[in-house]
Structure 1
């Protein structure tokens, strides 16, 4: 067990250490180092900031397994998750960690036979992993009794809030005892999570992983400026420039996922779509194919991909730019894991540029702009790959039947003509420049230009140039020398600020519903 010395130092039993060894674990992740000893040594409630891919399931799963008792025949722990896929994954992870300990772990979710679930529950379950809707259904049917649970976990708590499960979660909490330990794991900690903690937790502790852990520092982050109509061609070029491509691609809508999957399939790529309109069985089939690498590309919406944990992804592609920084971090956190590098690519159209600027400015994201590969670059890349593949075949000895054919051809034709003909026969279509359409150059955005803004505050609000400058500086980081052309009128004012700062300001006030129209882009430069 010397290899797992750092895990052993956390206070983990030999039984679970053996399970970790089988699973190939070596060192605990930052969230595991903080959460595991705390949960083992105390009964304190906890809010832990950790995203998918940081080892959070093991961080709460190991202490829960360690503390759970065998053969009690009633639920000792309830783990709530936002999606069916995550419920299944967590239950599988817990089963792989429990070792020789005789614990019954059951995933409960919609889309599965409720009669089968009732039958399993009657047999005595120790740990339940479920979605809020189905858990509440069992509570109403009186087929689940949560009055004796010692631990309750809200996993992906922020996603449950985003998906509208807050009322269900609150109702489930009413059916638990006051002495239980409540644990919340979340990629972000919005105010709603803190308010739940204040209502339902006793003395609680907040654990946050470092920002470097959250932004997947092993992930190379790139963005491409593209016209909307050229997105598909841009995607094809990116795929064709990779020696290995095993990717999750995010789209905004269910319709877009289906359309993109169909277009990729028609172009000869191995791709499938995943979205909320699919039956549970269809979703499981698609995910199984992708996990086994029978399919190389999975196209999904944010909702459909929540809780999906896929190992060894080479790329995450934002075909549609995410709505906010939290979604971006959730998405790119699926690559660059376990010491392996990954690439996160974002397509940005002109109309989406302000959202990108806002994310760059507010979250300090390290996203580098790159130009799309040219047709010549792709063809040269493919030629190099063909040459390497042929050399590899030669080095591994060509079968005699092929050398016999070659000998007969060489009797009648020069070697260079035969080689060229074979290359054309085998790779002609793949190396054809006509496979790629021209991509129109994106009209450049002048980031150094000034943007004229309308401010719904004027002399009647006691506004002065000095007060307006201070007001703007309260909202964003800006050198006041960059605030130009201030004009104060009775009911409103005008200012000019650099393009990037203007985009951040507009996004900030777009999010503030009570001040939504306070700052807008001026329609005219003149009053």
Structure 2
């Protein structure tokens, strides 16, 4: 397949291209370039094997939007996702790409109001995105009609398998029409997913996207947990912590690039946005200013940053995660060059942890977690910097300066400390004003807590496909595990019971006994997995 460099090359309609451009996306990822023409051109089933965060939602979402008939008031596409968070995210992404099409997209998942979902389904929906359990619930109630279905999509199929949804998925697929197209997207293809494909898919076309895994040892990789609304505040704090910040801030879209660049300039930073809407002359002018250091910050999209050759960058900031994890490698490779060290800092919002977890896997070097700098710490660093800079001034030659007699006049009858303090107040007042830093929000993330939580040494995190809806609470779960595997109370720690599933931590040997016991006696086919 020839290399496709723009969405216009993929066979999408002008209406869809306009919606993509409105979002600020400039070029397709590998999985999008491979799948979109295939799904638009041929009546084929497709297996897409690519990692989380490679832009799979648009890879299947855009062709679905092109093919679904807005005049037909029925569900024409069903997308299954492992978690409510991913279901909502997919629904929002597809909705944002529909442009002015009169299409209704609904997210259907457990833990939310059934009545609100029923109301939306009754009004007429073209695309339904949901978790397997809640979709199956609607099918059993007769509140979801799939008779006119054109597409069924399994997104993150291997994760749904790991979470014990395989039987629910099979039951849903049995209730879909025979004449439909099935798309299966998964990072890996374990045997149960392969058997599922063999059973329900018709001679599927396989698209497999390989990923790079190379990062520089000279680049210090850091990630910062921060809410989306706090990212700009975090950015300014990180810049202010450095004596001479000289770097690129990466944004995913042109719109965000413009916004962040403008806000930096409004706050007095020497920054410029760089993206595909700028003319070649404007681009050359910005790069010239960066190389001459009349500006110290470029806010760029991945596409606009291609071909940039600027030496001695101290920092790369990933303001938003790239759509394609390979882009992370290319981004951070712009610092830590020619034997010089650099710093790559990635902002991770709570909903981005799933995608970031894969980026951590493909980077062979450690990406360590740090906190957003505290305002008081920044002020102390600035204070020390002012003292250092002023102390380094040549005090011997200054007596020959025309300003020396003025200083003598000013000091007459005044304390030197008071005069110096007044001068510092006049010239550095804004530098030492802690009130210009806004309060940061709490960054607790359910996904981070459950999947990224560091475990006590020797402990293993286990997922259990049982939760409150099965009548469990923390004490009942602990007692049940102790009874089944002969563990002690102290062996079962960090217990979290949710509506549909639970998590526990256990020493490795105890975890192995739990897995062995539940593999042999898995009730109703719902496994327990690490």
Q: TM-score, normalised by structure 2?
A: 0.47
Q: TM-score, normalised by structure 1?
A: 0.47
Larger RCO (alpha carbons 8 Å, 6+ apart) = 2
